[in-house]
Chains A and B, each alone.
Chain A
Amino acid sequence: MPEGEGEFRSATRLRAVPNEVAEATPLRFGDDPYVWVSWLYYQEGMTQNDIAQIMGISRATVIAYLTEARERGIVNISIEPARLASLTLAQSMKSHFSLRDCFVIPNGADGRALGEGLGAAGALALRKFLKSGDTLAVTGGRTVMAVGSKLKIAALQDVTVVQAVGGAMARNPFSPELCASSIASAVGAACVSLSAPAVASTAAARAIMFAEPLVAEQFAILSRANKALFGIASLRPNASLYSDGVFGGADLQRYIDGDAVGVLAARFIGAWGQLVEGVLDDRVIGLSLADLLRIDLRICVAGGFDKVPAILGALRGGYANVLVTDAATARGILRADGVAELGRRPSDKQAVKHHGREPRQHVKKFINEPDAVVDEMLDGAIRAHRTFLRPLAGSRRALVSLDGPRAGKVGLVIGGGSGHEPCFLGYVGKGLADAVAVGNIFSTPPPDPIFQCAKAASGGAGVLFVYGNYVGDVMNFDMAAEIARDHGIETRSIMTTDDVASSPRENRDSRRGVAGNVFVFKVAGAACDKGWTLDACEAVTRKANARTFTVGVALEPCSLPQTRRYNFEIGPDEIEIGMGIHGEPGVLRGALATADETVDMILDQIFAEMRPASGDRVAALVNSLGGTPLMELYILYRRVEQRLAAKGIEIDTSFVGHYCTSIDMVGASISLLHLDRELQELLHHPCRAAFLQVG
């Protein structure tokens, strides 16, 4: 801008002259007219004519400055990503294909600008989803490269961008290695490339490359990717795929004959998302489709009408859970999948929303995606407790102890819904449970993970299932037991029934299992660890259950991560008595009393059942239902010990803390295990799990 200098000087001169508007401008911009023009135009909302007058320059120069300011990055114009996702079309795509998010850009008159538009929208998607600490796997292709050129995110830390498929011929301007490095530099990430071609010349060559430590290390990083960005190639006659050199001159006809409709991450897929096999399969080096599906967030950027079958295949196969595309393509995909009346549903949905009650109060929680709470929690727990347990192949819902199962030992499998942490996974380890099946929040796991646990825990001497007595738990564990029997594994099921308040004494078997679970797990784990027979393990576990008594009370309800609402209401001076551990209301409601009075009320109910004699020994558990602090638990425990002492009962073992919770419920439960010599010995048997260690 050669003339800019002179005009700028006149602008500063003008600023020195008193002027109504210029004086109203509160900031000084040093010597940079671009910042000044930008400020007046975008922040003060002045017209280009006014600015020209104040600065003593022509309107054409103002326009030129504004353009320059955008190019230099002084002014960044971005569209809030939520706006693109709120389009009716995007909403329809999102709900029809159960996507986590969908961004749809409008189609311009010029078809050639599509790639750039998709690149810009892809950059918005990354800006929304890419976070510090992420490892992002990136494929090649024109669209991915367009994302890189439109992307600029500062302020992210510890991001790694890793090349998802091997390299292509050097003359390919959209090769995976160039795409990865473009994205990496745009977000200030470390870039890890794959030092191997996307397609090796032979299967043997691929095997040799996989054996190279450098390549193995790069694949190890790739396997840690938690986000992916990929494009989709069409197999139509003029697709760029044939010219970009990734597949060299390989004959792709066999894939097309095998009904392949598209390529993603160098893998061929059919119309229903199925993997189509062909000549290249044992030569491709890169992320497999199964590996891709294991990545949490999978952003696909692709558009163009010729790609409709390929994108539809990828959506049906579930390979993408975030899609960035254009309006014409989105319409084509929906039509191809049989969706007719576009735009009807979102308005229906809004009607339903207004239908509900008053504006609701949301409980604040540390969560990312409400639907991902259980998986993210398990991911964290597995990492945190890696010295105790590991996930069974392919699922975080079945976890096995590192050193529990062994030949000739009865296996102990426990399980239940999430939301009770540290129940149940905190009690997996040596001398305790061998495996745990984990369900959704407050929901029993399905039969399959329970069976996987049984298989992993089986040492040929039978498997014990110990779980709380709930209709759903019984159905799913019974179905798992049937599957186990078909596989030659003998199982015994023991339902814990320690909740005194849930049913009258004569109906003990229909009581539910609550925090007293922990005592029963401990006893069962010890018996199994000592190498007792299945019969003996079962008998002593039943005895432990029969001698365990719990009563819980709550001061406040809990709130589910998906709704973030309290699930019942309780008055300021009320207490719920007979709490379960699923956030359901208690059996009855009473008046709020002091800590001592509350303990007395609980213990009176327990003593009435347990009928202890002076000189007896018990184990005591004062458990938080999630929201009650240790401070109050100790106040409760103090009174528990006073009452027991007054009866001449000795506390042999005491546990105080969070042992079995209902998410964030404010409340506590007290459990007593009425010991005999055998139970006492088993309680003291050493164990080592994340949340229970003895000896």
Chain B
Amino acid sequence: MVELLSHCLGRMFHNISDAIEETKDHLSALDGAIGDADHGVTMSIGFQAVKIELSKRNVDAMAPADLMNIAAAAFLNSVGASTGPLYATGFRSAAQALAGATRATSEAQAALIKGIAAGVRERGKGQRGDKTMLDAWIPAAEAAANANRRSAGSEEMWRLILTAAEAGAASTCSMVAARGRAARLGERAIGHVDPGAASAVVILKAMALAFCEDGTEQKKSLR
């Protein structure tokens, strides 16, 4: 029996919050090079708020769409900044994509990623190559869609997603920023990985762990 989607989503937000907590100093340091050095802190505040909000509820009894909407509101209201509206819109768009879904099938997992990427893109009006988090999210969503079309299993799909997202994030190193505060830096931003793309990879890795719980070997390779 495929696991309950809302259960997986609850575990996913827990994982994300822990992973962000573990990497927050690193993310802030990346941001210090081209921005205001608070990206790790901001992401931590947002996902802690999601975790606290979800811990008040019995997530197993919730519809996945409602869960995603609650996460969106909690993230937005605690963060603001630019990441607040971006991820909140991403989660809301994922909520729409997951309407009616109940089980954590590979289709649902692919729809989740695609939904988040679409929402972030819509709110930020950005593109691949802008040196933003979209440089990780868009390739991740494409990889998920491709894997899903080929009916790849969950684990293979996540391996492809992570490979694509990591390559996308690494590619921001050579870019000049088109949007966000780093855009003011012009060519001084070259040579630095975009912190938003780096945190997107952290999030995707934590998501992968939540959806591929069985097999510790698998976990290690995803880490």
Contact = CB atoms under 8 A, between A and B. Distances in A.
Interface of A: 95, 97-98, 271-274, 315-318, 337, 345, 348-349, 352, 355-357, 371, 417, 439-448, 470-472, 475-476, 479, 502-503, 510, 512, 560, 562-563, 565, 567-568, 578, 580, 582-585, 587-588
Could you say which interface size class chain B belongs to? 35 or more
A358 B22 CA distance: 18
Given A563-B28, A568-B32, A443 B48 contact: no
Contacts of B184: 502-503, 512, 578, 580, 584, 587
A356 B29 CA distance: 10
Contacts of B55: 97, 315-316, 337
Given A271-B58, A502-B184, A562-B28, 6 more contacts: A348-B22, A446-B84, A448-B76, A475-B82, A560-B41, A582-B36
A440, A445, A568: most-surrounded residue (chain B CB, <10 A): A440
A321 to B, nearest CB: 10
B186 interface: yes
Given A479-B85, A560-B38, A563-B41, A587 B186 contact: yes
B15 to A, nearest CB: 11
Contact of B76 (A95, A417, A447): A447
Contact of A567 (B18, B32, B76): B32
Interface string B163-181: 0000000000000000111
B38, B83, B86, B183: most-surrounded residue (chain A CB, <10 A): B38
A565 B76 CA distance: 27
A242 B223 CA distance: 51
B96 interface: no
Contacts of A443: 38, 42, 79-81, 84
B121 interface: no
B155 interface: no
A317 to B, nearest CB: 6
B23, B78, B79, B84: most-surrounded residue (chain A CB, <10 A): B84
12 contacts: A95-B21, A352-B26, A356-B29, A446-B80, A563-B28, A568-B33, A568-B37, A584-B35, A584-B36, A584-B37, A584-B185, A587-B185
A439 B46 CA distance: 13
Contacts of A568: 32-33, 37
A349 B24 CA distance: 11
B56 A272 contact: yes
A444 B82 contact: yes
B34 A584 contact: yes
A444 B181 contact: no
A98 B185 contact: no
Contact of B26 (A97, A315, A356, A446): A356
A348 B32 CA distance: 24
B56 A318 contact: yes
B36 A442 contact: yes
Contacts of B41: 440-441, 560, 562-563
